Structure 1
Amino acid sequence: MSDDLDRILLSHRTAGPLAGIVVADLSRVLAGPYCTMLLADMGALVIKVESPGGDDTRGWAPPRLGEESTYYLSVNRNKHSIALDLKSPEDLAVVRRIIDRADVLVENFKPGGLVKYDLDYESLRISRPDLVYTSISGFGTGPGADLPGYDLLAQAVSGMMDLTGYADGEPLRVGVALFDVITGLHAATGILAALRDRERSGLGQHVELNLLMSALSGLVNQTGAYAAAGVVPTRMGNEHPSLYPYGPFPARDKEMIVAVGNDAQFASLCVCLGIPEAAVDARFATNASRNGHREPLRALLVERLMTRDAADWFTLLKAAGVPAAPILTVAEGTRFAEDLALDPIVSSGTPQRSIPTVRNPIGFSRSRLDYPIAPPLLDGDHAEVLAWLERTPPRRPAP
């Protein structure tokens, strides 16, 4: 057993707001691993139980860092990997021992897929009524249980793709598996709420999430418009359905965003652009009137914006309190965050194996977040996890 890793296992349970919480992570791909990484960043001890073939995302490449998939690396830091075959009685016994010591279990097997191993919620709640058992599916446990839980399918059936793109163009996917990420955030929120409830009741519970409901919730005002008023939103390209100007406009060198949220901001924009008279023009003076006269207003704004570079307008508009920003690449956006002293990139791991990752976005005034463990190699912590099982007693639920 590695003494260095043993110290990390011990210290990782004494630092952070979730210190002392143990998570049995039986999830893979994105929603579950993103959730458990957030918990691990906050101090939970997360044991990632993988199949002998490993998490699917280990093979999702390019891009790679060396021989490793950057997709996998992006959502698996601060965890410990042990590869176990649930079909093996010996390995299944190890999984049970891990769960016996866990506060939280996270899984995203196909609904019903763990029943044959007696690792489903109904089987475990008898012996572990204090366990917070978290299940993530694509489309719930009813008629949608057989649908594969892929983010792209959720983007398709939720209406997201129908909303994304230009009115006369094809539906488009979002450039990231957004609903996986939102579901992971919802899962982390549900787990924290269930742990808080357990402090009062002594009982765990089944926390259930699915991509489709997270998608419909994440579409906020768009699904809200349909729920409240029966309004079916449509593709508008980069236009906002309720605000104008609110989107990209061409400056002299590149496109930039102008995002006016109220009439005062519009007046300030007009002053900066040298057209103060537009702020009192009856066609543009209010948000409602601007929505009704988008084309003439756009022509006026583009004429003025094309006289300077996007960076110059950004400086001027920022000083005037007008929401605006240049449209950047991911690399430029990361450097922009660095310029704002947000420290977006952190190294996870030790000098022997250090992986650059994106910092957890949550900040605490008192608690500390750290990144002592690099995304684990497949089964890289097998011996250490077994040693931890030997010295760690099972949880004993309160009577």
Structure 2
Amino acid sequence: MKLPKPGAAILIAAPSGRALAAAARRAGYRPLVADFFDDLDTRSLAAASRLVAGDLEVGFESAALLLALETLAEGTDPIGLVYGAGFEDRIGLLDELARRWTLFGNSAEVVQRVKNPLVLAALCASLNIPHPEISPSLPGDSENWLVKSIGGSGGSHIAPAKHSQPGQQNAYFQRIAPGHPVSILLLGNGADAQVLGPSRQWPTPTEDEPFRFGGSLRPAELSGDLEGRLTKLAETVACACRLRGLNSIDFLVEGDSFTLIEINPRPGSTLDIFEDRDGLLFQAHLDACCGQLPKSPLKFDGAAAAGIAYARRSIASMPAVDWPYWSSDRQKPQTALRRHDPLCTVKAHAAKARRARMLMDHRTNLILDQLDQLQTKQASWGRELHLEQS
């Protein structure tokens, strides 16, 4: 496949396409975005965008997404399509996308294989990689197990096994493993792999979603020995699975021990913290999908954190907000939000990881506190809210 060149239009399909659109713009491409939010900064980044019917819980409906993408592609001659999360349980849709456009990402066959829990368990066993015990049916000691959805992403599909429903579709059970989440971001070309770096993740739990994604932090600040072991294993797994483009492999780490949890065969939630110095990450993804890995390692300065600010309470009509520069995925005015819906992504950069996380937490609370204050003053609805830029 011929290597793509900057300046071309390219389709992006993801539940939230903003991070991919930003990466595409930094690399000099014209992103055409179809997602569930069509939020303010996605509109500003995209050459064109379309709101797709659906939500994070239900996922993509084929006809609605295909119509949005066909509309975006009309008259723009896109070189292909980059997809994010939301397709691991939509293999038929991924196949249909590949029939219509060049896919810059893993094939539907690869995605289906790596998201099959039995296949992943067998792979880990063959490579002598620690992996939690899995079961297709509810084990007797259910308090030590989780229930997950095959092809699920983002943490919202994970729950204690005791909360599983009889006959639950596409469900499997995984024994609880100790440790905190660490993800390895890498580029693959189908034969070789190049690790970009590890990051830490954390949940922002609710009663209904105890493993809901909260945010991520780079660097992970692992010991040199552990980082080296995880890097080598991630490269081995990527080659065994013939992964292409940007992918991540998730581990649970406790001390110097680790357990491989899952493979995410597409660009994911850590794009915001892996903004490289030269804006080459998106180009590297396209090139890797065409078989070429970077000749020189991408450079990532300092430390970065990014997390989701979730609404503390329902909002009947989102006010007009003068959003700070460090926020992304910004909700549109007059949008109705439920409690725990995402308001925006909050980002922070610093010299050290601990400082980046503290600054991100401060900024998150700043936004949420000021929105709370606004809601207590009914007369303020409809007025523009100026958030501090600290």
Higher RCO (C-alpha under 8 Å, 6+ residues apart): 1
User: Shared topology, TM-score over 0.5?
Assistant: no
Larger radius of gyration: 1
The TM-score with structure 1 as length reference comes to 0.29
More helix by share: 1
The TM-score with structure 2 as length reference comes to 0.29
